[in-house]
Amino acid sequence: MAGVWVLGENREQLFELLSIGRSLADKYGTTLAAFAFQDTQAARDCIARGADRAVVLKYRGQEGPLDVFMPTIVEEVKGKDPDMLLIASTYRLKELAARIAERLKAGLCSDCIKLVFNEEEKSVEMERLMYGGSAVQKVVCLSRPAMATIPPGTFEKAEAGSGPGKEGDVDEIVQTNEPAVTMLERKVREREAKDIREARTVICVGRGFEKKEDIKLAEELATVLRGEIAGTRPVTEELHWLPESLCIGLSGIQVRPDLYIGLGVSGQIQHVTGLRDAKVICAVNRDANAPIFGVSDLGIVGDLYDVVPKLVDELKKGF
158-167 residue pLDDT tens: 988 765 555 6
Going from the N-terminus, what domains does the chain have, and what CATH number goes with each? 4-175 (3.40.50.620), 196-318 (3.40.50.1220)
69-89 residue pLDDT tens: 898 899 999 999 999 999 999
pLDDT computed for residue 169 by the predictor: 75
As a whole number of angstroms, the distance between CA 195 and CA 230 comes to 10
> Looking at per-residue confidence, does 241 or 143 come out higher?
241
21-71 residue pLDDT tens: 999 999 999 999 999 998 899 999 999 999 999 999 988 745 667 888 898
Contact 205, 263 (CB under 8 A): yes
pLDDT computed for residue 38 by the predictor: 87
pLDDT computed for residue 163 by the predictor: 55
pLDDT computed for residue 277 by the predictor: 85
- Which ranges constitute the DSSP H helices of the chain? 11-28, 40-48, 70-80, 91-104, 216-225, 233, 269-272, 304-318
pLDDT computed for residue 58 by the predictor: 87
**pLDDT of 264 higher than 70:** yes
List the one residue out of 87, 53, 77, 88 whose CA is nearest residue 144.
77
Question: Which residues in 298-318 are b (16+ Cβ under 10 Å) and which e?
Answer: ebbeeebeebbeebbeeeeee
The overall average pLDDT reported for the chain is 89
> Looking at per-residue confidence, does 91 or 286 come out higher?
286
pLDDT computed for residue 166 by the predictor: 54
How confident is residue 184, by pLDDT bands cut at 50, 70 and 90? confident
**pLDDT of 229 higher than 80:** yes
Query: What are the distances in angstroms from CA 148 to CA 75, 125, 245, 251?
Result: 19, 11, 24, 19
As a whole number of angstroms, the distance between CA 319 and CA 314 comes to 9
What SS3 state is found at 138? strand
pTM of this prediction? 0.79
**pLDDT of 188 higher than 80:** no
What SS3 state is found at 296? coil
Task: Give ∠ CA 130-136-139 in degrees, rounded to 5.
Answer: 95
Contact 128, 33 (CB under 8 A): no
As a whole number of angstroms, the distance between CA 246 and CA 274 comes to 11
How confident is residue 236, by pLDDT bands cut at 50, 70 and 90? very high
How confident is residue 142, by pLDDT bands cut at 50, 70 and 90? confident
How confident is residue 222, by pLDDT bands cut at 50, 70 and 90? very high
As a whole number of angstroms, the distance between CA 85 and CA 2 comes to 11
As a whole number of angstroms, the distance between CA 76 and CA 85 comes to 12
pLDDT computed for residue 74 by the predictor: 94
**pLDDT of 1 higher than 90:** no
